[in-house]
């Protein structure tokens, strides 16, 4: 009950200060270290000892109760009469980073627990913090240091870290990670996907050293309102710090000092950067310094927005000539683990004539994003909210929101990323609409400078050739992604040219998937499935169709290279590969590659 006018004023002012505070709170409350590349660190990559444990009996006893002396204790036989039924040191080895499925034949189909162990010496520096940083592990990681649990992480494609300051010895530390990639109905992604469930510590692991008071997070970008100023914030680890923060961009003659208030320093400075674009992927060295810490990053500046059905980059309409890419290694299969592999994929996309890539269906490595940015690709980045996840389960939502937050937190300073996608081909229902609209709100709260999208496959056909986009999610996104497989999952290739699209929303549409399967080197009649000729025909007729869509702002056909999938059983043709690549897994282009290339060159 409000007793007086004074109280009412007080309540309003408290509410108001919450509102304005939360508007400024675009940073993530507990982010991992930013731009790990530029931090002082040592690598824990290389060969790790592993134990394959399908029954998880390194964790549970025969009563299915957690064991006190699980594998994480790394127990050793001390005298001949001892019974210890495991030994990391005489067991298998796997390379980190890397998935286990493609490293060991017996793990090809494996889904379950593998224990990883790595020993190391480390001399902690006086007055420094030490973080154990994982770029990614799929899917659930339980992490133990010297026998003690230090934390866990869920989600296969985003980084996580643990503060291990004071926990390391100079000699013989042992780090044990239980990695479990069992699919679960309530997980993100759920049990049913069209890509290989590669398990393991799939990206690099580092021990990172920072000062005690370190720069925890930052955002530096062009102001939304004006391309003549750069703004952002720097968050310090000491949340009560009022220290000076210096932001320096030498090439732009920017050198500004701001005072942090409660650990956060906001800034806005005048500057006239040469704007980042596919034709001018200009990055500036940004240095952030405090009394205790310094970090530098290569940052590009650009604006991205929509106007009716157009996407405007730096105020000019741009057509996104794209291609979808899975994080699958060229030539070897398995997960991409090196910069060279990223560059092979990106150079193929360049050769195709692309200015845009859809990094499907989960956040790709930071290396992939950074290399793509240097090459001038605009990027669509997404989380694996894919197909029929449990939309009415609050924990599933929390998991999705966390993966979204971790993706945005890692990549918010990448000018190349213009689209955050919250979902792919999700079936319409009230709980799905609520789930996804909440995710779009979360994106806006974290990053209001980029466009939000989702790939939809719900189109209604009024007449035979009509396709109407009226998915309620259209309300919440800025750009509508449409996955459409005319000529493959429905309709003959020739029928596609007659399809007519209508849009309920005055928003741009990207055809986020379109394509057909072909076994590279298989030739035949244009009506014969799996031939390069059939795939090529699907591309030709779909291109005709796309030329007639006046609200089409881009396209990212499915997909650059053939990729492994548990759903693709047809022996002699698929052999566990989704064959919709424009290039085979061995790096050989199919006919349709040149058809799309021609379309892009003429566009």
Closest approach of ligand GCB to the CB of residue 404, in Å? 18
Question: Looking at beta carbons only, is 160 or 387 nearer to ligand GCB?
Answer: 387
Which of 131, 198 has the CB closer to ligand GCB? 198
Q: Which residue has the tokens 């750069």?
A: 230
Q: Measuring CA to CA, how many Å separate 376 from each of 300, 327, 346, 357, 498?
A: 10, 19, 10, 10, 34
Write the interaction track for ligand GCB spanning residues 137-176; mark x where CB under 6 A is met and - where it is not.
----------------------------------------
Contact mark string toward ligand GCB, 240..279, x via CB under 6 A:
----------------------------------------
Q: Could you please report the per-residue DSSP string of 326-362?
A: -SB-TTT-SB--SHHHHHHHHHHHHHHT-SEEEE-SS
Q: Residue 469 CB, nearest distance to ligand GCB (Å)?
A: 16
How many residues of this chain interact with ligand GCB, rule: CB under 6 A?
A: 9
Of the candidate residues 321, 412, 564, 580, the single one contacting ligand GCB (CB under 6 A): 580
What residues does 280 pair with on adjacent strands?
277
For residue 471, state whether it binds ligand GCB (rule: CB under 6 A): no
483 Cβ contact list (under 8 Å, min separation 6)? 424, 425, 455, 456, 457, 511, 512, 513, 514, 558
For residues 327, 330, 331 and 334, what is the CA-based torsion angle, rounded to 10 degrees? -10
- Name which of 365 and 483 has its Cβ closer to ligand GCB: 483
CB of 455 to ligand GCB, least distance (A): 6
Q: Residue 376 CB, nearest distance to ligand GCB (Å)?
A: 26
Residue (206 or 358) nearer to ligand GCB, CB = 358
Q: Does 513 bind ligand GCB (CB under 6 A)?
A: yes
φ/ψ (deg, to 5) at 436? -75, -35
Closest distance of CB 576 from ligand GCB, Å: 13
Q: Which is nearer to ligand GCB, 48 or 387 (CB)?
A: 387
CA-angle at 75, arms to 73 and 76, nearest 5°: 160
Q: What's the min distance (Å) between Cβ of 424 and ligand GCB?
A: 5
Q: How far is the CB of 580 from ligand GCB (least distance, A)?
A: 5
Q: Which of residues 376-435 bind ligand GCB (CB under 6 A)?
A: 424-425
| Smallest distance from ligand GCB to CB 545, Å | 17
Residue with smaller CB distance to ligand GCB, 133 or 488: 488
CB within 8 A of 321, min separation 6: which ones?
353, 354, 355, 356, 554, 555, 600, 603
Q: Give the span between the Cα atoms of 97 and 199, in whole angstroms.
A: 11
Specify whether the CB–CB gap between 532 and 296 falls below 8 A.
Answer: no
Query: x/- binding map, residues 479-498, to ligand GCB, per CB under 6 A?
Result: ----x---------------
Closer residue to ligand GCB (CB): 193 or 290: 193
Specify the residue for token string 């683990």: 337
For residue 161, list its beta bridge partners. Answer: 133
**Residue 228 structure tokens:** 């003549």
Least separation in angstroms between CB 386 and ligand GCB = 7
- CA Rg, the chain, in Å? 25
The CA distance from 83 to 98, in Å, is 32
* Interface with ligand GCB, residue 194, by CB under 6 A: yes
Q: Are 49 and 58 in contact (CB under 8 A)?
A: no
Q: Using DSSP, state whether 274 is helix, strand or coil.
A: coil
Whole-angstrom Cα distance, residue 484 to residue 459? 9
Rounded to a whole number of angstroms, the minimum distance from the CB of residue 462 to ligand GCB is 22
- Interacting residues of 280 by C-beta distance below 8 A, sequence separation 6+: 274, 376
Residue closer to ligand GCB, measured from CB, 76 or 569:
569
Nearer to ligand GCB, 265 or 360 (CB): 360
Site residues (CB under 6 A) for ligand GCB, limited to 342-361: 361
Q: Minimum distance from CB of 357 to ligand GCB (Å)? A: 15
Inter-CA distances, 368 with 179, 378, 382, Å: 23, 12, 14
For residue 536, give the 3-state DSSP assignment: helix
Least distance (Å) between residue 573 CB and ligand GCB: 14
CA distances in angstroms from 191 to 182, 457, 511, listed in the order given:
9, 19, 26
Shortest Å distance, C-beta 558 to ligand GCB = 6
Cβ of residue 481: shortest distance to ligand GCB, in angstroms?
10
Distance of alpha carbon 159 from alpha carbon 41, whole angstroms: 15
Residue nearest ligand GCB (C-beta atom): 194
What six digits make up the tokens of 60?
Answer: 């549970």
Candidates 578, 590, 595, 600; binder of ligand GCB (CB under 6 A) is: 578
- For 162, residues 6+ apart whose C-beta sits below 8 A from its C-beta are 131, 132, 143, 145, 150, 151
Between CA 593 and CA 603 the distance in angstroms is 15
Could you say whether residue 562 binds ligand GCB (CB under 6 A)? no
Q: Is 590 a residue that touches ligand GCB (CB under 6 A)?
A: no
What span, in angstroms and rounded, lies between the C-alpha atoms of 558 and 596?
11
Q: Give the three-state DSSP class for 515.
A: coil
Hey, what are 280's tokens?
Answer: 């001018």
Question: Can you state the angle between helices 339-352 and 591-602, rounded to 10 degrees?
Answer: 60
To ligand GCB, the closest distance from the beta carbon of 492 in angstroms equals: 18
Our CB check for ligand GCB shows the closer of 540 and 580 to be: 580
Q: Which of 218, 284, 530, 558 binds ligand GCB (CB under 6 A)?
A: 558
Residues that bind ligand GCB (CB under 6 A): 194, 361, 424-425, 483, 513, 558, 578, 580
């Amino acid at each position: 009950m409000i007793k007086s006018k004074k109280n009412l004023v007080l309540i309003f002012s408290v509410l108001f200060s919450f509102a304005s505070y939360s508007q400024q709170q675009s940073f993530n409350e507990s982010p991992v270290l930013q731009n790990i590349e530029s931090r002082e660190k040592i690598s824990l990559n290389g060969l790790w000892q592993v134990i394959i444990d399908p029954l998880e009996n390194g964790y549970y006893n025969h009563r299915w109760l957690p064991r006190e002396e699980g594998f994480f204790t790394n127990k050793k036989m001390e005298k001949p009469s001892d019974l210890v039924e495991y030994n990391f040191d005489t067991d298998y080895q796997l390379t980190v980073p890397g998935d286990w499925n493609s490293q060991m034949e017996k793990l090809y189909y494996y889904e379950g627990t593998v224990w990883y162990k790595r020993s190391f010496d480390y001399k902690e520096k006086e007055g420094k913090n030490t973080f154990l940083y994982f770029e990614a592990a799929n899917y659930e990681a339980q992490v133990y240091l010297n026998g003690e649990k230090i934390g866990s992480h869920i989600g296969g494609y985003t980084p996580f870290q643990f503060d291990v300051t004071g926990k390391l010895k100079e000699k013989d530390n042992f780090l044990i990670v239980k990695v479990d990639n069992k699919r679960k109905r309530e997980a993100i992604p759920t049990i049913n996907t069209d890509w290989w469930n590669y398990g393991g510590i799939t990206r690099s692991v580092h021990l990172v050293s920072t000062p005690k008071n370190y720069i925890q997070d930052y955002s530096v970008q062009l102001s939304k309102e004006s391309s003549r100023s750069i703004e952002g914030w720097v968050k310090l680890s000491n949340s009560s710090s009022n220290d000076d923060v210096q932001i320096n961009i030498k090439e732009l003659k920017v050198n500004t000092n701001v005072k942090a208030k409660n650990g956060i320093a906001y800034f806005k400075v005048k500057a006239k950067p040469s704007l980042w674009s596919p034709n001018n992927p200009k990055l500036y060295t940004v240095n952030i310094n405090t009394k205790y810490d310094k970090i530098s990053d290569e940052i590009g500046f650009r604006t991205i927005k929509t106007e009716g059905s157009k996407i405007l980059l730096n105020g000019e309409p741009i057509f996104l000539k794209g291609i979808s890419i899975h994080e699958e290694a060229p030539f070897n299969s398995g997960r991409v683990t090196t910069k060279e592999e990223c560059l092979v994929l990106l150079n193929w996309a360049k050769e195709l004539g692309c200015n845009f890539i859809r990094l499907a269906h989960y956040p790709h490595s930071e290396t992939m994003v950074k290399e793509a940015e240097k090459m001038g690709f605009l990027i669509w980045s997404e989380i694996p909210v894919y197909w029929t996840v449990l939309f009415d389960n609050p924990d599933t939502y929390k998991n999705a929101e966390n993966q979204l937050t971790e993706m945005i937190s890692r990549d918010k300073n990448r000018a190349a990323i213009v689209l955050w996608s919250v979902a792919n081909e999700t079936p319409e229902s009230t709980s799905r609409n609520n789930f996804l609209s909440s995710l779009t709100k979360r994106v806006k709260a974290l990053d209001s400078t980029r466009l939000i999208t989702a790939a939809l496959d719900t189109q209604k056909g009024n007449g035979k050739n009509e396709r109407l986009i009226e998915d309620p999610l259209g309300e919440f996104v800025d750009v509508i992604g449409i996955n459409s497989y005319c000529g493959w999952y429905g309709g003959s290739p020739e029928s596609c040219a007659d399809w007519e699209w209508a849009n309920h929303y005055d928003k741009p549409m990207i055809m986020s998937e379109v394509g057909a399967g072909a076994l590279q080197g298989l030739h035949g009649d244009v009506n014969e499935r799996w031939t390069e000729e059939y795939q090529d025909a699907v591309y030709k007729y779909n291109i005709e169709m796309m030329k007639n869509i006046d609200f089409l702002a881009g396209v990212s056909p499915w997909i650059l290279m053939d990729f492994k999938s548990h759903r693709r059983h047809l022996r002699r043709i698929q052999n566990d590969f989704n064959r919709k690549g424009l290039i085979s897994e061995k790096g050989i282009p199919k006919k349709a590659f040149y058809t799309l290339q021609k379309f892009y060159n003429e566009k």
